[in-house]
Amino acid sequence: MKKWPAWLRLLRPTQWVKNLFVFAPALFGSRLGDLSAWGLSTFAFVSFCLAASLVYVVNDYLDVEADRAHPTKRFTRPIAAGQVGVGQARMLALILLALVALAMVVEPALAAPTIAYLLVNVVYSLILRGVPVVDLVIISLGFVARVWAGAQIIAVPLTPWILIDTFFLALYLSAMKRRSEFLRDLSNTRKSLGRYNLGLINTLVGLGAIGAVLGYSVFAFQVRGELAFTAVFVVLGVARFWRLANSISDSQSPTDRIIHDPWMLVITGGWALSCLLILVSI
């Protein structure tokens, strides 16, 4: 990613993998063989990639001074590094906002979850990012909005358990990221980090992990009994992410590491293949 143009790095395309959550309703909502549903879900995925990039650009714009004090972000964040001007960042944000608005006009079903996602991130960036625990809850709600969008655009009902599972999985991932930052003593670059302690973070990590596994197990069983066995991949994924997050260097982040880890790709691929084999037999 270092060789990509600065403006493209500002969009954080490696983070778009988080938007794959929008496909969950199509996968588990009896729309597996419906090509139109997958087409609409892909549209929602692209729309949320634009929305997520908008959030990243705005955050980098607001955090430019803090990023300049960060040991790695001052080199890797294009605005802080002086590779993208402040005026250029504002223009890029306006273009992204226009594209997101256009997506909501084309598919009105995306309006409510997209607006909710953007509002949650605005509240997080301007008010709640310095409040411990609450900041992680806000981040987790952003993932819930993605699943909501995926269900809205293909008109399938949302079960409470898929939302519960999404929330706790996101809580686990974000708490693990905070844990990594805490252990690397990056409190000078994140307002809420100085108000955490390791015991609290570990409690949130454990709560997120247990909630994710149990929530997924119940949800999968409701969809189809045999699907509950795929929870073993969720357990493996949770365990693997723990190992990755505890073996990174100061210049790495857990999110970037997970994307390039071959074992995590094997676990994710095994989960996806198992789900497909079970669901196509319905």
Percent of the chain's residues with pLDDT above 70: 91
Least confident of 201-205, 224-228, 257-261: 257-261
| pLDDT average, residue stretch 168-194 | 78
Task: Give me the mean pLDDT over the 200-213 stretch.
Answer: 94
Residue-wise pLDDT for 149-162, tens only, equals 999 999 999 889 99
pLDDT, tens digit (0-9, with 9 covering 90-100), for 49-91 = 999 999 999 988 888 877 777 767 777 788 888 888 888 999 9
Q: How many residues would you count in the chain?
A: 282
Mean pLDDT, residues 214-242 taken together: 93
| Lowest mean pLDDT across 98-112, 218-232, 254-268 | 254-268
**100: three-class secondary structure by DSSP:** helix
**Rounded CA gap, 90 and 168, in Å?**
34
pLDDT top residue among 79 and 46: 46
Among the listed residues 115, 114, 144, 152, the one whose alpha carbon sits nearest the alpha carbon of residue 37: 152
Coil, strand or helix: which one is 78? Answer: coil
Q: Is the pTM of this model over 0.75?
A: yes
Helices (H) and strands (E) in the chain, counts: 13, 0
Q: Assess contact for 151 and 157: CB atoms under 8 A.
A: yes
| Secondary structure of residue 281 in the 3-state scheme | coil
Q: Average pLDDT of 30-51?
A: 94
Q: Report the distance separating Cα 184 and Cα 164, nearest Å.
A: 30
Q: Is pLDDT above 60 for 1?
A: no
Q: Which string of DSSP letters, residue by residue, matches 226-273?
A: GGGGGHHHHHHHHHHHHHHHTS--TT--HHHHHHH-HHHHHHHHHHHH
Residue ranges covered by each domain of the chain: 1-158, 159-282
Q: How far apart are CA 211 and CA 2, in angstroms?
A: 36
Question: Is the distance from CB of 178 to CB of 222 less than 8 angstroms?
Answer: no
pLDDT over 90 percentage in the chain: 54
Q: Which CATH superfamily is domain 1-158 in?
A: UbiA prenyltransferase (1.10.357.140)
- Separation between Cα atoms, residue 259 and residue 280, nearest integer Å: 27
